[in-house]
Structure formats: C-alpha cells, structure tokens
C-alpha cells in the first residue's frame, strides 16, 4: 500500500491532459490536489486504528494486505465492511468518498468478464485478473467510466447522427483496438491512475463496435479530460474548517482515437453481454450508495440538530419530528444495504454480489428523499445560509462586529460558533459542491431512478404476491 504523499507524487508524474477553464494543467496543480482530499483520506486512514479493520483486506489474487478500495469482494462480510467504511469516510470528508466508483466497477467487470468467458470461450477474465494483480500491487485509483454522451436519446447507438455519441471501436488491429467517443459525469477521473470503461447499456447484434470494455492509464495519448471544479466556499484561515476541503473535479472524458492493447480488453464485440457489464457496475455502486447516502444523511442530521440547538428550537415538537424523519431515511437506506449484503450470492467468478432488490430499494429510497432532506435542513436553518456574510466580512475591522452580533442566536453560544454552523449550512444548501454532488448525484448517481425501478421489477417475484392475493381472495385458477 502507498501513502497519500506517494499517490500525489505519482499523479505529478503523469502526462498533462486536463483542461480546466480551457487551460491545460498538470495533476500537481493546486486545484487537482485540493480535489483529491477524499481520495487521499483513503490512503492516510489505513493506519488509523478505527479505520484499519475496514480499510484493509487480504487479496485473494496476490495474497497481500491491500486497500479495500482495490479489493474484489469474496464474502458477505466484505460487502458489509465496504458499506460501513463508505459511511464512516463520508463523515470524515464531509461528502462523497469518490474512490468507491472504481472498486464498484472493478467488481462488476470481475463478474461480467467471467460470464463472457464461460459462454464464448474467450479469455477476458484472465486479462482482468492480470490487471487486478497490477492494480492491487500498486494500490492504484480507478475512475469508472460508463455514461456515454448518447446524443439523440430516441436513437440507438448504431443509429446515431454521429457515431461517436457512444464510445466505440473505430479500428481493429492484431495487438488491440482504437476507440473514439466520450464518457460523461466522470467523477474524479482527473486524479485517477486508470480509467475503467464499460458499456452504458445493452447492445443489439448490429452494435458490435459499441460492446467494448477496457482499462487504460488516464494520461494515455488521445484522452482529453475536460474538467469542471466543484468545491465548498473558501474561507479566511482563522475560520477554516474540515468541510472546506470537500470538493471534486468532474470530467467530460474524450477518447479521440485511443489505442487499447489486447491484454487490457475485457469485452470486445460480444453484444449479448454489454448489458451485463452495465448492470453489474450499477448494482455494486447502488450498494455503495447504501453506505454513502446514510453518511451524507449523518452530516445533514447533525447540521440540522446543531442549528436547532443554537436557535433554541430543539425541543419543539415539529423539529423533533423532522429530525426523526431524517434519521429514519438514513437508517432505512443503511438497513437495505445490510440486507443486500446478508442476502448476497457468490458469482461464477467468485465475486460476492449484492442482492439486487435490496440494493436497488435502498438506492431508490435514498434518491427519492434527497431533496426532501435538504428541504428539511433549509426549513430549520432559515434563510441565513443563503445570505450569510462570508469570512472576510466576519473578519472586517469595520463591519465584523456587526456580523458577529447579528449572526448570534441563543445566549451562551459564541458568535464564531453560530457563524460556523450557518456557514456549514451554506456549504450544504447553496455551495456548488453540494449542488453538484449531494443533490444531483443523489438522484442520478449509479443510474437514473427509472433504472432502479427496472432492476427492482425485473428481479422481484411479483407473481408470488399475486398468487398469495388470489389464495386469500379464494380465486382458484
């Protein structure tokens, strides 16, 4: 395993291909380093006694102690530890863990590549296992890359006005393939070592070139990472806080005639399995959400309760009711994740797979409630988070005393603590990081809500419930 500093040094050596505000930057740029705070925590916490049992595992491939974010789940306990770890790190970094996306896709590819080999006599799973050994030995960070631009949403990949709207193979060589296209919503790709690509959907028989999965270094020639930043608002040093480290970089990741060697390919034209690659990642990632969303729920619950206390309304019945509702959402989502792990099954590849229904029910419940949770925080916090004078006004020799006087609420709570509490609510409710990650990703991360409904209805034994109802009604047929 490597340290956080070694991870940063590794990034600094990569070929620059990030474009931020139209300018080419290296991975040693201060914005990239700041964005990597959550990823760095997954390295630095491995020696913390509280996190070490959760953050480390023993590899079934190389037989060594490894970071759990490079691990392929081997049993239900692995899934439970990953879920608990995700929730706890969310509380440390104040937001998305980010490294879960890569390990979720690794687990999905582990399952799907074996399915292809068993059906078609290919060797994609062997390719994956060799890549996995390299990945674990070097404690690498992977960005899962799934969602295509999709262009005309009414047209299939092979019928697009522009064939590049879905990533596809444009040339086949004896030693590999050349691909072109784009992957959107590529969280943390600008500070990942590797990009792991899978199809975004099921493919038809005429869409062989679109049924492609592979891994490439993120600085490979022909890859352009068009980057957008999202951070909590910066503050003067004397008012800095851990939440101000929260943030990330999102990428529109362009593949412009990128060569992929054969040994890095995990699916190549077997269209009947494209959907399995897409759905397997979604399943593992939705299970991660049953740790992530309760972790973010912890932040929202804590902030809501803190502001209720500082405003002297914590004992009011409607506040208690709202807090109980927030707690119920977080814990029901977490419970669904536990059930999904306990009910998990072992796939043909040996990878432990979460229960489909419980993972999707938990993710669905989280997504349907995310805006309501923020609405509850907004209700209790009032309007001040949106109009709060920021740190420079708080520190102003001219108007600072006014700010301190008028942000103070309950007697006995210092002006600074009141300001800090409302500033935290500002970060959560109106900050750019909250708007991008907590709220929009809370709905669409891991697949849009309709896909959760499809997964639930496709896996749930509804006929058994109809049979039960017929029996109770006395219907004989």
- 116 inside domain: yes
Report the pLDDT value the prediction gives residue 444, as an integer from 0 to 100: 73
Give the domain range for residue 243.
4-271
Residue 295 sits in the same domain as residue 258? no
- 475 inside domain: no
Residue 84 has pLDDT above 80, yes or no: yes
- For the chain, what is the mean pLDDT? 94
Which of 199-203, 215-219, 467-471 bottoms out in mean pLDDT, i.e. has the lowest? Answer: 467-471
Q: What number is the average pLDDT over the span 221-237?
A: 90
| pLDDT tens-digit readout, 241-265 | 888 877 899 999 999 999 999 999 9
Residue 311 sits in the same domain as residue 264? no
CATH of the domain at 148: 2.40.110.10
Identify the band that residue 435 occupies on the pLDDT scale cut at 50, 70 and 90. Answer: low
Q: What number is the average pLDDT over the span 26-31?
A: 96
Residue 255 sits in the same domain as residue 280? no
Residue 264 sits in the same domain as residue 394? no
Report the pLDDT value the prediction gives residue 440, as an integer from 0 to 100: 74
| pLDDT tens-digit readout, 85-118 | 999 999 998 888 999 999 999 999 999 999 999 9
CATH of the domain at 351: 1.20.140.10
Number of folded domains in the chain?
2
Residue 163 has pLDDT above 80, yes or no: yes
Residue 436 has pLDDT above 70, yes or no: no
Report the pLDDT value the prediction gives residue 380, as an integer from 0 to 100: 96
SS (H, E, C) the chain: CCCHHHHHHHHHCCCCCEEECCEEECCCCHHHHHHCHHHHHHHHHHHCCCCHHHHEEECCCCCCEEEHHHCCCCCHHHHHHHHHHHHHHHHHHCCCCCCHHHHHHHHHHHHHHHHHHHHHCCCHHHHHHHHHHHHHHCCCCEEEECCECCCCCCCCHHHCCCHHHCCEEEEEECCEEEEEEEECCCCCHHHCCEEEECCCCCCCCCCHHHCEEEEEECCCCCEEEEEEEEECCCCCHHHCCHHHHCEEEEEEEEEEEEEEEHHHEEEECCHHHHHHHHHHHHHHHHHHHHHHHHHHHHHHHHHHHHHHHHCCCCCCHHHHHHHHHHHHHHHHHHHHHHHHHHCCEECCCCCEECCHHHHHHHHHHHHHHHHHHHHHHHHHHCCHHHHCCCHHHHCCCCCHHHHHHHHCCCCCCCHHHHHHHHHHHHHHHCCHHHHHHHHHHHHHCCCCHHHHHHHHHHHCCHHHHHHHHHHHHCCCC
Residue 246 sits in the same domain as residue 380? no
Residue 318 sits in the same domain as residue 263? no
Q: What number is the average pLDDT over the span 397-411?
A: 96
């Amino acid at each position: 395993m490597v340290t956080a500093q070694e991870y940063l040094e590794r990034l600094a050596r990569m070929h620059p291909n990030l474009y931020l505000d139209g300018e080419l930057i290296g991975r040693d740029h201060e914005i990239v380093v700041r964005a990597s705070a959550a990823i760095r925590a997954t390295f630095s916490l491995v020696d913390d006694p509280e996190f070490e049992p959760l953050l480390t595992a023993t590899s079934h491939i190389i037989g060594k102690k490894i970071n759990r974010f490079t691990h392929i789940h081997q049993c239900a306990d692995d899934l439970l530890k990953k879920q608990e770890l995700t929730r706890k790190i969310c509380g440390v970094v104040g937001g998305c863990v980010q490294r879960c996306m890569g390990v979720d896709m690794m687990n999905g590819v582990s399952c799907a590549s074996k399915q292809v080999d068993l059906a078609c006599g290919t060797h994609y799973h062997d390719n994956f296992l060799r890549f996995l050994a390299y990945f674990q030995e070097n404690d690498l960070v992977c960005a899962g890359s799934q969602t295509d631009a999709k262009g005309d949403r009414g047209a299939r990949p092979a019928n697009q006005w522009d064939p590049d709207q879905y990533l596809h193979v444009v040339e086949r060589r004896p030693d590999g393939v050349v691909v072109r296209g784009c992957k959107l919503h590529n969280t943390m790709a600008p500070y990942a070592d590797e990009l792991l690509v899978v199809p975004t959907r099921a493919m038809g028989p005429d869409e062989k070139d679109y049924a492609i999965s592979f891994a490439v270094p993120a600085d490979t020639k022909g890859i352009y990472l068009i980057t957008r930043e999202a951070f909590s608002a910066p503050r003067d040093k004397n008012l800095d806080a851990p939440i101000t480290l929260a943030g990330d970089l999102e990428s529109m990741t362009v593949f412009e005639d990128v060569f992929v060697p054969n040994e890095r390919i995990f699916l190549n034209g077997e269209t009947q399995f494209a959907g399995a690659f897409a759905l397997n990642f979604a399943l593992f990632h939705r299970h991660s959400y049953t740790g992530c969303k309760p972790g973010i729920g912890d932040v929202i619950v804590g902030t809501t309760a803190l502001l209720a206390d500082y405003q002297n309304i914590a004992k009011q019945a409607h506040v208690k009711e709202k807090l109980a509702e927030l707690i119920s959402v977080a814990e029901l989502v977490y419970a669904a994740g536990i059930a999904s792990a306990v009910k998990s099954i072992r796939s043909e590849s040996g990878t432990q797979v979460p229960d489909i229904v419980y993972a999707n029910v938990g993710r669905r419940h989280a997504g349907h409630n995310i805006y309501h949770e923020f609405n509850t925080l907004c209700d209790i916090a009032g309007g001040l988070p949106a109009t709060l004078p920021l740190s420079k006004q708080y520190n102003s020799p001219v108007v600072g005393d006014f700010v301190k006087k008028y942000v103070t609420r309950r007697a006995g709570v210092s002006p600074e603590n009141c300001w800090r509490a409302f500033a935290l609510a500002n970060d959560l409710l109106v900050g750019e990081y909250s708007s991008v990650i907590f709220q929009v990703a809370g709905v669409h991360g891991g697949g849009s809500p309709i896909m959760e409904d499809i997964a639930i209805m496709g896996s749930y034994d509804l006929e058994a419930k109809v049979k039960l109802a017929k029996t109770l009604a006395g219907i004989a047929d």
